[in-house]
Structure 1
Amino acid sequence: MGLFRSMQVFVATVQEGSMSAASAKLGISPAMVGQHVAALEERLGTRLLNRTTRRQSLTDFGTSYVEQCRDILDRVAVADQDAEASQTKPRGQLRITAPTTFGTEVLMPALQRYRDIAPDVTLDITLTDRNVDIVEEGFDIAFRIGALPDSRLIARHLAPYRMMICAAPDYLARRGTPDHPRELSVHEAIGFTPAARSPWRLPKGKDLVEVAPKISITVNSGQAVRMAARAGLGVIMQPSILLTSDIRAGLLVQLFPDWHLNERPMSLIYHRDRRMAPRLSSIISFAIAEFGPQVEGQASRLVESAL
């Protein structure tokens, strides 16, 4: 007979006051109750109960042993409850990687809302503009800007990065405000590596202008690109969601608002896992709600209201 089950039967026998009462509670025969108790006594080499035809009582050893059994059963019950809760309640550690500027300017300010719904999840976040191999480097999930290569990972589309061209009022006062994208060829620009030297593409209806401004500074941080523009060092092309607050504050001015710059796709990628942990499903649901395709219109309206 199983030791754990015999402990359960023994504790029930003591709690109910008799083997017949324990058998009724447990749904087994009185004879089976007696066999479980006898199996424990044989294993321990001592009696647990003093039994007569009218009553039963615990032996001295039985008194201490039943308390130990209760403690063991309680611990197992708590462990079972924790295991069940872990399948429904997010908990544990999540390793996340995201592009530096997106992580700093967009993800971090939103994380308190995630903490409100998943307070038992700890976050280990790495911000880098390198395309991390999440399988090799042990990440659970990654925010990724740009086209995705073929992959065995799952990708969920988020709202795309809409690009915007801006410059500081001080720079425009010194160098003049261009009326057409072609005029950018004579302007200083700040480029974000590694694509700093690529032409800027501006479509408008059937027209498409490709222009290569003079890149005077290249830097590998989107936040640094923005700060350089605010300092009047040149024109920049950056995601609109990162520039909205500066436009509203008058620190930057949008150029060519009637021209629609190319979008950069934004995705959430994670491992294929047929038994997805609640902590992973919770961050996926949060990211889709916060940054999914449905928020694209909201972001556009936010940018327009800042102009």
Structure 2
Amino acid sequence: MDRLHLMAVLVAVAEEESFAGGARRLAMSPPAVTRAVAMLEERLGVKLLNRTTRYVRVTEAGQRYVEDARRIIAEADAADEAAMGINGTPCGHLAITAPVLFGKLYVLPVIVEFLQSYPGICVSAVFLDRVVNLLEEGLDIGVRIGVLPDSSMKALRVGSVRRVVCASPAYLAHHGCPKTPLELPAHTLISVGTAVEWKFGQDPEVLTVKTAPRLTVTTNDAAIAAAIQGFGITRLLSYQCAPYLAANELATLLSGYEPAAMPIHILHRESRHANAKVRAFIDLLAVRLRTTPALQ
């Protein structure tokens, strides 16, 4: 049996955590899937899956092999596309991820523009406020904010954002504007998440301020809404509050104490054959993000 086929069967079973689920995905019979995995394990002389009556889990060796198999299958698919001329016109499915609010404000409009330009494309947009592993979660393109760790991903820098402190003009008129970060604990603070320390300045002169927020929320939208209502001072990324700064609903404070800007990158999986749909979307997204004033 073809080795690439065996790899595809293993990946399907590992991702579905079930031989039956892998069989359904590949339109194969469960016995054929079981034989394929057994054949691969026999060829390698390594146990790749742990099986019980209730679940299937990859072994440590299996996890490494599955990751390599995903990469090899993606390379083979890209090579097929290049040979068949698919690189000429973008078509097929794209899976794209970005942070929630960033995706809504800046990525989704580009996705809609892209879909309108290429009728043969369909897109799955996964907007999450966590670091997403493109390879493990089967995604083609990601937008990442912050310094990148070393990885096998290709990265294209397209802008930067800053961490800013802001409040409504009404709050500042009533309570005054802090002149230094050390004055913040005397104000009403709104925090996103559980962080109680706000850092200011840049290395080697970083100032850490311990905060005691009166309001803690789980989303940036909620913090923005509370700040606009004049409740207190919050801390956000510059792109998150940019529309409200432009509308004079919020004002930035302590700009002289801002930490270093954080880069924005478009990531995609390493491949010698970057196909047309990935290249075309990255090119369009890069142009749109690089010409967005709030991201420069």
Of 207, 217, 226, which aligns to 1:228?
226
Secondary structure (helix, strand or coil) at the match of 1:245 reads helix
| Number of equivalences | 214
Task: Provide the C-alpha distance between the structure 2 equivalents of 1:163 and 1:266, rounded to a whole number of angstroms.
Answer: 13
What pairs up with 1:203-218 in 2 under 5 angstroms? 209-218=207-216
Segments of structure 2 that go 5 or more residues without pairing to the other structure are 1-82
In structure 1, the residue matched to 2:270 is 272
2:267 is equivalent to residue 299 of structure 1: no
Q: CA deviation at 1:136?
A: 1.3
2:124 is equivalent to residue 128 of structure 1: no
Q: CA deviation at 1:143?
A: 0.9
Is the contact between residue 180 and residue 256 of structure 1 (CA under 8 Å) also seen in structure 2?
Answer: yes
Q: What amino acid does structure 2 have at the position aligned with 1:299?
A: A
Q: What amino acid does structure 1 have at the position aligned with 2:111?
A: L
Task: Provide the C-alpha distance between the structure 1 equivalents of 2:127 and 2:263, rounded to a whole number of angstroms.
Answer: 18
Point out the more displaced range, 279-288 or 84-93.
84-93
CA 154–198 in structure 1, closer or farther in 2 if over 3 Å, else same = farther
Task: Provide the C-alpha distance between the structure 2 equivalents of 1:202 and 1:189, rounded to a whole number of angstroms.
Answer: 19
Task: Provide the C-alpha distance between the structure 2 equivalents of 1:188 and 1:202, rounded to a whole number of angstroms.
Answer: 22
Secondary structure (helix, strand or coil) at the match of 2:161 reads strand
In structure 2, the residue matched to 1:118 is 118
In structure 1, the residue matched to 2:168 is 168
In structure 2, the residue matched to 1:289 is 287
Task: Provide the C-alpha distance between the structure 1 equivalents of 2:130 and 2:206, rounded to a whole number of angstroms.
Answer: 30
Q: Say what the alpha-carbon RMSD is for the aligned residues.
A: 2.7
Once the two structures are superposed, what CA deviation does each residue of 1:16-36 show, in whole Å capped at 9, x if it has no partner? xxxxxxxxxxxxxxxxxxxxx
Q: CA deviation at 1:259?
A: 4.2
CA 224–120 in structure 1, closer or farther in 2 if over 3 Å, else same = farther
2:91 is equivalent to residue 91 of structure 1: yes
Once the two structures are superposed, what CA deviation does each residue of 1:149-186 show, in whole Å capped at 9, x if it has no partner? 22122222221112221101232234322223321122
What pairs up with 1:7-86 in 2 under 5 angstroms? 86=86
The structure with more radius of gyration: 1
Is the contact between residue 143 and residue 268 of structure 1 (CA under 8 Å) also seen in structure 2?
Answer: yes
In structure 2, the residue matched to 1:249 is 247
Is the contact between residue 190 and residue 214 of structure 2 (CA under 8 Å) also seen in structure 1?
Answer: yes
In structure 2, the residue matched to 1:9 is none
Please, what TM-score do these two structures have when normalized by structure 2?
0.64
Is the contact between residue 160 and residue 262 of structure 2 (CA under 8 Å) also seen in structure 1?
Answer: yes
Task: Provide the C-alpha distance between the structure 2 equivalents of 1:173 and 1:98, rounded to a whole number of angstroms.
Answer: 36
Task: Provide the C-alpha distance between the structure 1 equivalents of 2:248 and 2:221, rounded to a whole number of angstroms.
Answer: 17
Q: What amino acid does structure 2 have at the position aligned with 1:197?
A: V
CA 181–175 in structure 1, closer or farther in 2 if over 3 Å, else same = same
Identity of aligned residues (%): 28
Is the contact between residue 199 and residue 206 of structure 2 (CA under 8 Å) also seen in structure 1?
Answer: no
Point out the more displaced range, 99-108 or 177-186.
177-186
CA 171–150 in structure 1, closer or farther in 2 if over 3 Å, else same = same
Is the contact between residue 161 and residue 295 of structure 2 (CA under 8 Å) also seen in structure 1?
Answer: no
Segments of structure 1 that go 5 or more residues without pairing to the other structure are 1-82, 302-307
Task: Provide the C-alpha distance between the structure 1 equivalents of 2:200 and 2:173, rounded to a whole number of angstroms.
Answer: 25
Please, what TM-score do these two structures have when normalized by structure 1?
0.62
